[in-house]
Amino acid sequence: MANAPLLQLRGLTKRFLGVTALSAVDFTARAGEIHALLGENGAGKSTLIKVLTGIHVPDCGSIALSGQPIAPRSPKDAEAAGISTVYQEVNLIRALSVAENIALGRQPGRFGFLNWRAIRRHAREALARLEIECDVDAELGSLSIALQQMVAIARALDLRARLLVLDEPTASLDQKEVAELFKVMRRLRGEGLGIIFVTHFLDQVYAVCERITVLRNGQLVGEYPTAELPKLALVGKMLGREVADESGRAPAQSAPATNPAAGAAPPVLEARGLGRRHAVEGVDLALRRGEVTGLAGLLGSGRTETARLLFGVDRAESGEIRIHDRVVRLGSPRDAAQLGLGFCSEDRKSEGILPNLSVRENLIFALQAKRGAWHTLSRAEQTELCDRYIAALRIKTADAETPIKNLSGGNQQKVLLARWLATQPEVIILDEPTRGIDVGAKAEIEQLIARLRADGLAVLLISSEVEEIVRNCSHVLVLRERRPAGKIAGDEITPARLMQAMAGNA
Amino acid sequence: MNPAESSRPRRPLSPLVWLCLGLTALVLWNVVSNPAFLAVTLRDGHVYGVPIDIFTQASRTMLVALGMTLVIATGGVDLSVGSVVAIAGAVCALTLGHGAGLPLTIAAAIAVGAAAGAVNGLLVARLAIQPIVATLILMVAGRGIAQLLSGGQVLIIADKSFEFLANGFVLGLPFAPLLVAALFLAAHLALRRSALGLFIEAAGDNETASRFAGLAAARIKWLVYVFSGACAGLAGVLTASNIRAADANRAGENAELDAIFAVVVGGTALTGGRFSILGTFLGALLIQTLATTMYYRGVPPAVAPVPKALLIVAVSLLQSEKLRNRISALWRKPRKVAA
């Protein structure tokens, strides 16, 4: 490309309390180009953007805009330098009008009086630049999310803006709205703006981006022209595996051979055509006793959304769930728990632990909730359960009365697993059970999964790590862009097959 | 976290210890200047004395604070209790005026309080309105309802058996504090022997997580508001009995603030989670002791709120983890703190 570099990041490093979020990352964005910034969870995308917009100050490295070094200390600094950002959640005030939102913080006027005519005119001009038709006096909250997003972009596009950062702008838009957004993005590109586009949807990357930068674990994987990077290769880069790797399961790893009897057994839980708007569509799943079924897919592919439907956290809008061939209505996690399901959420902190309560209370909680307030577990029963699970799962804690927040992530995860095992469930859904825990604990959790399978549980394992799926599962459903993208079973479960399905080349 | 720390968990000193220390100090200070402060005499087979007065006076705040404890444990707050006290008083005057018996009167007042709580709970638990706002509605509207019921007048209640509730004696001891103490004991047993206490603490500690673990958290939240309303209803009965009248304007005035204060002093954090019934009891006792002290010292009523405010500041500071850490860092030998 003939385009001169607009933004140059060199050797950017950022650590948080000893955790390296970005490690010597280089990044270049060019004027008149849409540049995709991609990576799985923990890759460092959001840290990079926060450094760029002045929310975080980098530990070392340099930022240059049009060759001039800059060091933004706040979003306002960054905006003044010409970097404007639109976040995934619309960051505007719903109760104010479109015009007020666009002018907010930089109202034209004198002596504390607002010049309303100027505010309206400015808003109309800003929207006209995007070719958006919209009443500038309308209350923002009355507009569709897509239009709100456009208003956010109009607001971000100050006349000085030279670089626009779009952080997952399409997450809550439907297809038509995405097309509208792309039209606007292309138009801005034509005006010579540089655009950084963060998204989980690979098709969208190929639809509008000239260039792709991939990050993984805080490090730069590489920068590629979109035309020269096939989708499958891109998925390989994001997940850190070469596509050529067709080795599949090493013999030592192929523990979970399909239980021969299991395949024929009726499923404990079956989902047919399960779906919910903006979440996931058309999911068919069958979970059987003594089997670990995998749910694979890239970030944002609808894995967690599927788990939430299966556990009654969100209500399914289409399809049905059968347990032992009986159609059930799951209106809440409570319903699901009563029917013998358990669910370890990926978000341990906000959806898992009761931080200030003790290990004991956390561990017995699901069982006690299932029994109700009056069928109290005696202290002796509680102690017995705790002793058993602390020993069996090798939970490292000073004692059962320690607040769970004092435990390490891996041990918290084990307590949450024990919480569900104590209810003696038939089906357990594990959403990213090994995320954010150390390698040793990871191996232990995987051993536990093998034991659950051997004990006759039906396990649904959600993981973004291809190897974890390969090592543990006998059936896999791959999701892609919120739809099923393929079913793989038995020895066909290889990293290459999984990645092909995730990339949409299956 | 370093391993030495995780192997030996440091249990923080219970806030109850501070509370007892504060209460003891206050009583000692009174005794030094007035040796008769703790004296209890027997007259006509009834006990009299300052401590008895304190207990009797504190009983209504204790009752309101009992319900408030559970509401605050779920991370909420119930500002409407003062108005519910007034409504319940008016209900008592009306039912007695229509010739109803004592049991029916008490039941009606408690039921009206519980109904008010049910409305609060509906707003908070089902409609997800912020507790402050949701209960502020009834706090404001409740006085009006009480006025409406009492026809805008202070209704005099002349009923010997009704008067007994707040002013009578059983076996020489005042009835109201006995009743309230029995209710505290019953509440403690019901909450800790069943899993209700755990459910309330879990819903307050992390509502989402408790729901994900299969708890009907919304129902728990609704229930605590109903309970708080019922407690305020009974407190309204005692208030009306005490002054032998239903006063829509003054009954239960600032009851919500005293109750919140008692709860917080008692070691239940406004952010929800762990609660302490005993702490609330002692907290209410401390407030009343302070108020009585002011009275005996001849502090003009206009100035009386100042020491109370100082006490609140002191308690808040003691509960601040940041400050506690700083203070304990002063005692400890300076040494490197692992990040």
- Is A254 contained in some domain? no
| pLDDT category of residue B188 using cuts at 50, 70 and 90 | very high
Q: Is the pLDDT score of B183 beyond 50?
A: yes
Give the residue from chain B lying closest to A16, CA to CA: B339
CA distances from B118 to A117, B236, B277 (A): 49, 17, 22
- Is B173 in contact with B47 (CB distance < 8 Å)? yes
Q: What angle do CA B51, B53, B58 make, to 5 degrees?
A: 95
**Residue A345 vs residues A23, A152, A340, A427, B136: alpha-carbon distances, Å:** 29, 32, 16, 14, 36
Cα of first residue to Cα of last residue in chain B, in angstroms, is 8
Candidates B8, B11, B212: best to mutate against A (most CBs of A within 10 A) is B212
Q: What is the ipTM of this complex?
A: 0.83
Q: Using a CB–CB cutoff of 8 Å, tell me whether A468 touches chain B.
A: no
Residues A42 and A62 grouped into a single domain: yes
Residue pairs between chains A and B whose CB atoms are closer than 8 Å: 95
Is residue A300 located within the same domain as residue A156?
no
Tell me: do A363 and A487 sit in the same domain.
no
Per-residue pLDDT for B89 more than 90? Answer: yes
Total domains present in chain A: 3
Name the residue in chain B with its Cα closest to that of A360. Answer: B198
| Residue A347 maps to a domain | no
**Cα B215 from Cα B204, distance rounded (Å):** 12
Contacts of B8 in chain A (CB under 8 A): 398
CATH number of the domain enclosing A29: 3.40.50.300
One domain for residues A117 and A172 = yes
Predicted local confidence at residue A248, as pLDDT: 41
**Boundary residue ending a domain (A197, A222, A239):** A239
Closest in A356, A408, A419 to B274, CB measured: A356
By residue range, what is the domain housing residue A375?
Answer: 353-424
Question: Between chains, do A353 and B209 touch, taking CB under 8 Å as contact?
Answer: yes
Of residues B98, B93, B78, the one with CA closest to residue B142: B78
Set of chain A residues whose Cβ sits within 8 Å of the Cβ of B212: 311, 313, 333, 343, 345, 351-352
Architecture of the domain delimited by B12-331: Orthogonal Bundle (1.10)
Are residues A323 and A375 part of one domain?
A: no
CA-based nearest residue in chain A for residue B10: A402
A494 with A405, same domain: the answer is no
Same domain membership, residue A433 and residue A415:
no
Å from B134 to nearest chain A CA?
21
Closest CA–CA distance from residue A50 to any residue of chain B (Å): 24
Mutate to test the interface with A, among B194, B208, B215 (most CBs of A within 10 A): B215
Minimum Cα–Cα distance from A420: chain B residue: B213
Q: Are A422 and A363 in contact (CB under 8 A)?
A: yes
Contact A357 B194 (CB under 8 A): no
Chain A environment of B227 (Cβ under 8 Å)? none
Q: Do A351 and B208 touch (CB under 8 A)?
A: yes
Q: How far is CA A322 from CA A319, A328, A343, B212, in A?
A: 10, 6, 17, 20
Same domain assignment for residues A169 and A78: yes
The answer as to whether A246 is a domain residue is no
Task: Quote the minimal CA–CA distance from B4 to chain A in Å.
Answer: 10
Question: Do A327 and A452 belong together in one domain?
Answer: yes
A350 and B209 in contact by Cβ < 8 A? yes
Mean pLDDT of all residues in B226-253: 91
| CA closest to A347 among chain B residues | B209
Domain boundary among A424, A442, A465: A424
Within 42-81 of A, beta carbons closer than 8 Å to B belong to none
Domain ranges (residues) in chain B? 12-331
The whole-model pTM stands at 0.73
Query: Tens digit of pLDDT per residue, chain A (506 long)?
Result: 446 788 999 999 988 776 778 889 999 999 999 999 988 767 888 889 889 888 888 888 899 988 889 888 888 888 888 888 887 766 788 888 888 888 876 666 666 667 788 888 888 888 888 777 788 888 887 877 778 888 888 888 766 788 999 888 876 677 777 888 888 889 888 888 899 998 877 888 888 999 999 998 888 999 999 988 888 888 888 877 665 544 444 433 444 444 444 456 788 999 999 998 888 888 999 999 989 999 988 877 888 889 999 999 999 899 999 999 889 988 899 999 999 999 999 888 889 999 999 999 999 999 999 998 889 999 999 999 999 999 888 888 888 998 998 887 788 888 999 999 999 999 999 998 887 676 667 788 888 899 899 988 999 999 888 888 888 899 999 998 888 888 888 888 888 888 888 887 64
CA-nearest residue to A408 within chain B is B1
Question: How confident is the model over B7-31, as a mean pLDDT?
Answer: 73
| Helix (H) or strand (E) segment spanning residue A12 | strand A5-16
Q: Is residue A376 part of a domain?
A: yes
